[in-house]
Structure 1
Amino acid sequence: MKRSQALAVGVALLLSGSAVVANAADGPAAPASGQHTAKRLSADAAWCEQQGGSAQKQVPYYTKTGTQIVQLGGEREMCVFTGKDGTRITIGADSLAADKPTLAALAYIHKPADPGGHPGNPSIGYCQSINGTAMYGPKATDGGGWAKKGETNPSNVVSACMFGDGSVIDAWGLKYHSGDVIRGADLTKKFRADIP
């Protein structure tokens, strides 16, 4: 075999080996026709569902005018609890399933008093009063939150209170809970971590 032929065979073998490795890294092969695959959940999403929530991938949105929303970059697993009365509370699945306490969990459990007097959205004002943020812009009319990818209705975007440790929880759920009103579900015993 000539040197150029050997080099071509070596390159072909290398490339075909790379293709196998690349395909193996893509995950398991698709199931044969008629077979079903189980829904793959992350550990955080699995914890969410064990607690009675519904895990969903959500993306952040910016509400420009209150009627127009713009999808932002990134995504996050959220855990949504829906109560028998139709109310909901959303929390980051990683905030619910964290092994150690998060600021979102501490805010929910300890229910800091609301000083009141917030102009605009009271849930965002409450969030800011306990050192979180739910703002997406510098003006009081700027807003945003989280919803499923492809959402077009601003009323389906949930304002979320995000804290310095990255934990996130539904701003309205947090605000209502500070006044002893449960929306969706009582999260008190649903956190994986022991909350001091």
Structure 2
Amino acid sequence: MNPFTHWPRPGIVARSRPSRLWGLGLLGLIAALGQAPLAQAAQPKPAAPAPTGPERCEASGGRAVIWSLRTPLKEPARAQFDQRGRLPACEWRAADGSKLGLSMRTLAAVQASQAVKAWLKPVAFDAKGGGSPAAHYCVQIGGTSTTIVHWGARGAAAGEMGLCLFADGSAIDDWALFYKQGGDLRGKDLATLWPEKS
């Protein structure tokens, strides 16, 4: 056969074996690249990190304060405070001057803690015991009552207050808790921060 007189017929392209393999490889690569975005889309995206206590405090209109132990406290409640007896907290003040305070640890919790649950679903006060009714109410619902000094962000002492500490490490202003069980909202409505629990 004379290669100069026997050309392939029009419309037929002669292919060698390597070019056919190269074409199949190229088709496979295109198919793999086309499925890559689908595989990436099927993977769940990592969850956004939960906001910290200070971030949540600022976003909800609160101000950062420091609570400092005024009276000695036994373990395990003492473990919530640092070595100097201090605990970072968030405080909200309402237009009527009332306030509510939560420890930053309590505020940073994604799920409602014991302190928040006690505020959202209050138990009726049994009116037993003497002294501070807020301190007695704290003990009645399973908390530990103590007295603290709260300090403003710039280090100015803002007075003393009662605090109710719970076994899960949460802490709340005991008077705000006491007033809430009586139907009097002080400082902030926590249902806006934990709506699923209210």
* DSSP-derived class of the 1:91 partner: strand
Task: State the 1:55 CA deviation.
Answer: 1.4
Larger Rg: 2
TM-score (norm 1): 0.62
Relative to structure 1, the CA distance from residue 151 to residue 50 in structure 2 (aligned partners, 3 Å threshold; closer, same or farther) is closer
In structure 2, the partner of 1:68 is none
- Structure 1's consecutive aligned runs of 4 or more residues displaced over 4 angstroms after TM superposition are 149-153
Match of 1:90, as an amino acid? G
Q: Say whether 1:183 aligns with 2:186.
A: yes
Q: Say whether 1:195 aligns with 2:197.
A: yes
Structure 1 residue runs of 5 or longer lacking an equivalent are 1-41, 64-71, 136-143
Task: State the 1:87 CA deviation.
Answer: 1.0
Q: Counterparts of 1:170 and 1:73 in 2: how far apart (Å)?
A: 20
In structure 1, the partner of 2:84 is 73
Q: How many residues align?
A: 136
TM-score (norm 2): 0.62
Asked which structure has the greater RCO (Cα within 8 Å, sep 6+), the reply is 1
Aligned Cα root-mean-square deviation (Å): 2.3
- Asked if 2 retains the 8 angstrom alpha-carbon contact of 1:58 and 1:76, the reply is yes
- Asked if 2 retains the 8 angstrom alpha-carbon contact of 1:101 and 1:194, the reply is no
Q: Counterparts of 2:64 and 2:185 in 1: how far apart (Å)?
A: 20
Relative to structure 1, the CA distance from residue 61 to residue 89 in structure 2 (aligned partners, 3 Å threshold; closer, same or farther) is same
1:111 to 122, 128, 137: 122
In structure 1, the partner of 2:109 is 98
Relative to structure 1, the CA distance from residue 46 to residue 103 in structure 2 (aligned partners, 3 Å threshold; closer, same or farther) is same
Q: Percent identity?
A: 28
Relative to structure 1, the CA distance from residue 152 to residue 89 in structure 2 (aligned partners, 3 Å threshold; closer, same or farther) is closer
- Asked if 1 retains the 8 angstrom alpha-carbon contact of 2:65 and 2:150, the reply is no
Q: Say whether 1:134 aligns with 2:166.
A: no
